[in-house]
Amino acid sequence: MNNELLRTLCNATAVSGDEQEVRDILIRTLESSADEIGFDGLGSFIARKGHHGPKVAIVGHMDEVGFMVSHISDEGFLRFATIGGWWSQSMLNHRVTLRTRAGKHVPGVIGSIAPHALSDKQKQQPVDVDDMFIDIGANCREDVENMGICIGDFISPEGNYAHWGTDKIVAKALDNRVGCALMAELFQSVNNPEITLYGVASVEEEVGLRGAQTSAESIKPDLVIVLDTAVAGDVPGIDKVKFPLKLGSGPAAMLFDKRYFPNQKLTALLKTCAAQTENPLQFCIMKTGATDGGRYNVMGGGRPVLALCLPTRYLHANNSMISEKDYDALFSMVQRLLQQLNSDTVSALRDFR
């Protein structure tokens, strides 16, 4: 596992619609391994290696959930809109980073009222997002504007990458910088002359899988492996029947989500590769969300797609957690799968006779 690559990706600021920092990292990381690097019309990153055989795409999305400046008060406080799915109780008193149009980073904090100033009733009520604000230490609107901040600027949680225990990684934006890191490492390591390999980092997944659709139309791949995250249910207070994934017990094959079913033959092939590499594999469904597989699988008459997810605690919050063991296991089994592909195996996946 390339920890430094994942650290750099996670600490980058790249909210949906403002993914340039991650795009730049991936260009630097893969330009020496790719035959060609390009982009779709929305800015999804597309690297190509090889030019023979079926087109095989490995896909992770670049964007993270975050915020956008919606108002600047005369006193220098910022109001904001959420981008992607947030739970208000995970937001208060967390530090954030504002990225100006010039690329400057400005620190801030989502302000919270001291308990001394709250009634007992107020303490029991969650704060509505519309009532929250960001404090950047400004004294007035002019101070804010002098920092280069304006309405429409993007805001992400503050970078905070760390190792905990023997195998845990805690960071913001693991959803889905971990998919981008896996994509990059797989693209670098796989050399299969029987396929044309595409490494894709899509934009705007968190706001409707938009980059998945545009990159699919650009590449027109014959087979797709989506790399993402999924809710780990191994913490207090979560229904372990609906959310069975555990950190350290292997990556998960997504068997169904709101927009996608996997190709059953491709799922069986992945199971074989997991057994061949002696790695554990979990399974899950997601009825209230979707991965980029939901766009790729219906592109151009339909394509074999499989979404693979790392179990992740505390998704869509300032701090999420994964296991290095799961990352390494996912890398190993997907690498094995990609090395086995050729025209015959890909054609067999699409033969429904």
Q: Which of 205, 206, 217, 324 is catalytic?
A: 205
Residue 273 · residue 327 · CB < 8 Å: no
Cis previous bond, 319, omega within 30: no
Please give the C-alpha separations between residue 90 and each of 86, 87, 227, 320, in angstroms, as whole numbers.
8, 6, 25, 11
Q: Which residues contact residue 268 at a Cβ distance below 8 angstroms, ignoring those fewer than 6 apart?
A: none
Q: Which amino acid is at 352?
A: F
Q: Which residues contact residue 181 at a Cβ distance below 8 angstroms, ignoring those fewer than 6 apart?
A: 2, 5, 6, 9, 60
- Tally of CB atoms within 10 A around 37: 15
CA distance 227 to 351: 24
Order of strands, sheet of 196-202, starting from the edge strand that comes earlier in the sequence = 36-39, 45-49, 196-202, 55-61, 223-231, 305-312, 252-257, 282-286
Q: Which helix (H) or strand (E) holds 345?
A: helix 343-349
205 part of the active site: yes
CA distance 218 to 329: 30
Instruction: Tell the residue number behind the tokens 């799961």, with chain if given.
Output: 326
CA distance 58 to 182: 9
Catalytically annotated residues:
205
